[in-house]
Chain A
């Protein structure tokens, strides 16, 4: 083996080999962190909401007609809308709610287990009707969701619950107490009650001392929220509509029908009442917009990583070519003394492999350091050993591949070179 001569050659050419090692180290550090950013972005984008995202449409209806100022008129219009939406061919199910998945926000509220001395905990809170499970494609783990009578009954009560004019006692709490039936996510149950085999019948209270009883638990729920409460949700039964805010529906299309429904739903609703504006959005568009920054990060970091690998590969080709040219006569001498082409090839590849490995060792340290620095600026893109190993293997291959061309040229050096112009 030529390890001895290689080590001596490296020691005598510290700058040049150091350069290759430094390039490899820095490239590894940056590429691995680019990959970490891409993996993080892709993981965020691949996170399942638990809903049938591709089949969902969001329908907003905002009235301007004077007639809409009356609650009774609005409620009638809402029922007419739901009936029209559900009767449209291609619609699988529809519900009235304020909830928009992947909207980047929503509404939230603080609650705690009834009688608990602990702190208030925050959860997302949305109204829902009897179309909840079918429209959002949620699975119950226990209990049941709302039926139509309950939604109608609770709508009247919820209107009062959220009114500002509830008579209040001297302690600031409302004098009358509400008891509301709710459907929760299992994650919220675990957070507020602790792990338990069943959350059915458990009670919650809010800061106004209103109470809530769990009648159903759904398995999976995920909606990114500005606060870390993405998986907490409480649904209450309500048909909700106001003059200022209008009303909103979620529609689940039959498979493959969502895009076609976008125009059709707008026409259907405008035909049923034209004293308002109707806007229909595809959930896939909303999601696309929500993940805009992540997608851009992934693309740009991918571009940087690819360019970097190419640049470093070319750099290694350059330095190795130079080393080959410089040693042409020595190679000729070795060839003249009986070294075969394979020996020369092996020498240069081995030399390159040793330098690359040194660079990779340093690079792993740099990568971790850079990642720590990055994590002080942004969250999430944490390095894992798999990424580092993948990066190291990539750079070994790049190193060997780049050295191969000049090494083959070296191997082809004719022994006769040694006899010329010494």
Chain B
């Protein structure tokens, strides 16, 4: 008899918090609002921990039915909760990192307007994310999937009075809609072919199918459509464009939603559906290629960005690419491992970046920072840990997970040395742009004061963000309050040691029961141990050389980058403008859509046909009655005349009828 864990409480608790703050928060003080938000989010985390403690005594996968939802013939969807190792990892990451970011937000958002609104949205996000993670079927997962999109939209557009924030929110929402379309169609196909959306039932049906090696069959279609959904949510090529713009939201939001949790939902979904993907090698290859290309592509854009949050945004896209690369070579555990460590160090990077922005009074342009390490030591040291972690220096978290992915990309049966090579190049670029950020922000002299003296000189990116912290004025950079520093410190510790649980494949063995269809063959690993060590050495070398190059260009010889950029000319401009992808999308998709809607649908059909039909029939009726109203002259005798004439007509008709009968 398995105990009832009341898993439904985990998502519901933040929803209660969101409702309390959302409906009554306007009347609460800031202290009350933060207390409510932290209590309910923290309660979720405590419950997740409690589940983790009991975990070993459960029979897995643990399943809890809350209520029936849809019943139509044999087809049935329930509100149900599903717990296995994969869920547990996601659960702890989401509630843990989420709670830390809630704490941080209390400090970060203290001065901002709409305080209760922010925390209400944040709790709402937690509810939907936990629904997504805990769901036992695709439809309930889809609720969470759409819900996090909604929360993301609300939070990106949090400073809705700023036009750029409002349109960034819309962009995120609309681009995600394209992906969700794929997810929906995939679900329809599942209903059609498997008659169920429940994970266990779908996967057992899929297991009966043969592996689709050639052509695009049912499973490949489903897998590709799911991947389309994942591309939207997890910002992969071709749908990654919304994520950099999403940096318009407050920085804690970027950390929680657009780095640590929501954007990893796609990876989680692919890992969850690994049975389908394993039966569709073609789709798996597509996943790997998309992941690899995204990793490289986004990393190169990251080199030329000057907005500190934009660098991190492209870095996130790139790291998500790594996760998909892992999923694409059927090394789902490695992907989830990287997901977890990434949640630690990228969450930390964003929070630390927020702390930096806070310190310099809302400035986001790295060219106006510099020398900050002596002003904000806590932020500096935590960010240093995160930077070294993401760059892949051992023994920090990022090294273990990234190395695992690269090794799997090389050695897995679906892998290839091409993936590995691009992965290593990306690792080098990652290391380079992260240390570029690090050197530009923390070393050299503080350039903020000098820049504000002759303000708004040649800075092309001035119009960006600023998080409404600009009102602070521009004094000496100052360290953030304890509420912000403590989460930074905790995440720094996690970024440091978080990778150690993966040593010796322990993480994979933990997830192995979930990913049962492809057991990591320990024997093969040990056999090629020397190769693995060699590859590990190369990836460390890549990380170190990235550091070295950044040191050379942004510490030692700071005029050099300018010269290189000038000598590269057009190439540099292309990269700095993100390969003009936004412009290309605007010309290819947005403009035809907008113009077609305006000229054909609006002016042509709506105004020309629908409105015209209504207006013309109305004005026709008006003209007709305009003639008829002259009959009402107010003259009594003319009325009498009409009556008499009418009577005469009736009598004449009756006589005529009498005659003809």
A and B associate in one complex = no
Chain B residues within CB distance 8 Å of chain A: none
